[in-house]
């Protein structure tokens, strides 16, 4: 794949970008952009925060479930499970968004044959 194609894919030029938030009704939000605008930058920042929070929650869960760790109450375990569920949903949405911006593998083969 050419370097320009990779840049375009990273910039979201392969189609609308799935944003890391939804409408009040829970429907996905998309952005049609060249990847350099304010909303693209905001979406990048939010994705970074979401992934960072997921890492922190994972560390907390590992510490909590480690042998010899202090037991939590049922309410605390439920809170942790809810936050981990939210973090997983965020991470999957980021993965979907980034995956949708990658070029189609069939297009790559055509470019390589040319």
pLDDT at 111: 59
Domain span holding position 96: 3-100
Task: Summarize pLDDT for 5-47 with one digit per residue, the tens.
Answer: 555 555 545 678 999 999 999 999 999 877 788 999 999 999 9
Q: What is the mean pLDDT of the chain?
A: 85
| Residue 105: band (very low, low, confident or very high) from pLDDT cuts 50, 70, 90 | confident
Judge contact between 59 and 36, C-beta under 8 A: no
Q: Is residue 48 part of a domain?
A: yes
**Burial per residue of 74-99, b for 16 or more beta-carbon CB atoms within 10 angstroms, e otherwise:** eeeeeebeebeeebeebbebbeebee
Q: What's the total number of domains in the chain?
A: 1
Tell me how crowded residue 105 is: count the other CB atoms within 10 A of its CB: 8
Judge contact between 39 and 33, C-beta under 8 A: yes
């Amino acid at each position: 794949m050419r370097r320009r194609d990779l840049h375009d894919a990273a910039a979201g030029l392969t189609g609308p970008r799935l944003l890391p938030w939804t409408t009040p009704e829970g429907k996905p939000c998309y952005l049609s952009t060249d990847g350099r605008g304010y909303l693209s930058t905001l979406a990048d920042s939010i994705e970074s925060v979401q992934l960072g929070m997921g890492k922190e929650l994972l560390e907390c869960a590992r510490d909590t479930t480690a042998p010899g760790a202090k037991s939590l109450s049922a309410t605390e375990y439920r809170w942790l499970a809810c936050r981990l569920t939210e973090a997983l949903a965020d991470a999957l949405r980021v993965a979907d968004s980034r995956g949708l911006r990658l070029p189609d593998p069939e297009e790559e083969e055509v470019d390589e044959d040319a």
